[in-house]
Structure 1
């Protein structure tokens, strides 16, 4: 599955060994990392996410499945320069500029949370470039059947990053196995001590998205129509109790999105791929390997 044109992207064998690299594009410097070799998968990050807040177990499991995983810091956040914003159009533009600057051919594109919104916009921007779309704990465009919970906005506004906050936002605190998975994921994420991207300030971040749930979160009729007509395969991996972007909103579109596949983990939250990193990676890789444009 290796595309010859992507060979100059040197992927580290593991997340721990991956060094931050930089590329100049449109007047700013984008920080990125590459893990693995093979079919490129470009991942857009979550709200308050930077390079180091992907679970290394998930990234490494994707790489072990023959994917070359490219992660990056959005403009003005982490180690990237430029103007910081959570406008999804700008986040998608970061992804497009990275793909263009690195000369990545026929990538799969993906995104988690607000990065999943960016990935949907990126699909519109890239047209025929993207081979697949992988969405993680995100929302579809348009009016929602179920809004998010106030608990997310109250928890996400707290400064710093604690295990309790991490568990509440990304896992299912009511379930002992989910709490334990959260602890393990948190330990993996915080294990790296060198070459870390600085955290996104909570106060700035929450001011960008507001302090209470909105409906719709992503008011784009244009993107909704694209999802209804695209022939690009789309996979959404979700948890059955996502307090930010409820998975029920994807099921509400049953019969309308011709290429959408849904995988939903029980007793899981907004970070299903951190609760089940190996299983999520295997399913994502199988989806990319075995589905083609219709």
Structure 2
């Protein structure tokens, strides 16, 4: 059975012929997922991807110039969003749902607003809106996220909610599921590569009018938000109440930055039902 733990890493050629690494599981309507800060093909929770793949074709990928993808790393968020469009074209996909977690949610929002003719639904997980932060990242986020290597304790703080024993337990379970892949593994981002991500400012400075385009879009958007997201607080979305007519939000209590890793099957259920309507 083709699952996220044993899915083969494949490669697609996009503009200027770099080789972009991706994995594809499941059959059905396509979902392309853009990853978190420092994330790669191996950092998605297999339980979440496999649950999504019960009714969809789920595609994960490495940003150009990172992980197993070749080429020169993009120097803007718009170029990173364009990678999604070009990957879909390379795979012969004309219409798809775009999803993004954390940093990937920023890229997904830009893809949705810049290439709306290709996108049917948006799924934004633990991410922020364009422009200034209403609630900037907590100090502990930078203390943990910028460490050379992250261990389980870091993951618990970064993506879960250590205030609650159930969330701590879920962090260990998610960690073990991710570690189950033993072959055809990805390569971690280098410090230079993830620092390059921090220099891309066109989304956070809203240089392309993404905020206004989100207000005007007809594409339905689902947000999955954690109670104590130390990176991108849920309040960022709550203060925009009424400004984004197509946005629906699911708020997960006793969670952090990665609700889809704490509640993989439930998160996938919400997403699958959202895409079907």
1:252 is matched with which residue: 239, 257, 260?
Answer: 239
TM value normalised by structure 2: 0.94
1:179-228, Cα deviation, whole Å (9 max, x unpaired): 00000000111111100111112464246427xxx9x9722161101111
1:32 aligns with 2:22: yes
How many residue pairs are counted as aligned between the two chains? 274
Structure 1 stretches of 5 or more lacking a match? 1-11
1:133 is matched with which residue: 113, 118, 122?
Answer: 122
1:286 aligns with 2:277: no
**How far did 1:147 drift?**
1.3
Contact 1:156 1:206 in 2 (8 A): no
Q: 1:217–1:226: structure 2 CA closer, same or farther, 3 Å change rule?
A: closer
Please say which of residues 50-59 and 16-25 is displaced more in the overlay. Answer: 16-25
- Where 2:222 maps in the other structure, the secondary structure is strand
CA RMSD in angstroms, aligned pairs only: 1.7
Q: d(CA) in 2 for partners of 1:86 and 1:248?
A: 29
**How far did 1:125 drift?**
2.4
**Structure 1 runs (4+) greater than 6 angstroms displaced:** none
Partner of 2:82: 93
Partner of 1:79: 68
Matches within 5 A, 1:35-114: 35-64=25-54, 66-85=55-74, 87-114=76-103
TM value normalised by structure 1: 0.89
Matches within 5 A, 1:236-247: 236-247=223-234
Q: d(CA) in 2 for partners of 1:41 and 1:217?
A: 22
2:4 is matched with which residue: 11, 15, 19?
Answer: 15
Structure 2 stretches of 5 or more lacking a match? none
Contact 1:147 1:246 in 2 (8 A): yes
1:220 aligns with 2:206: yes
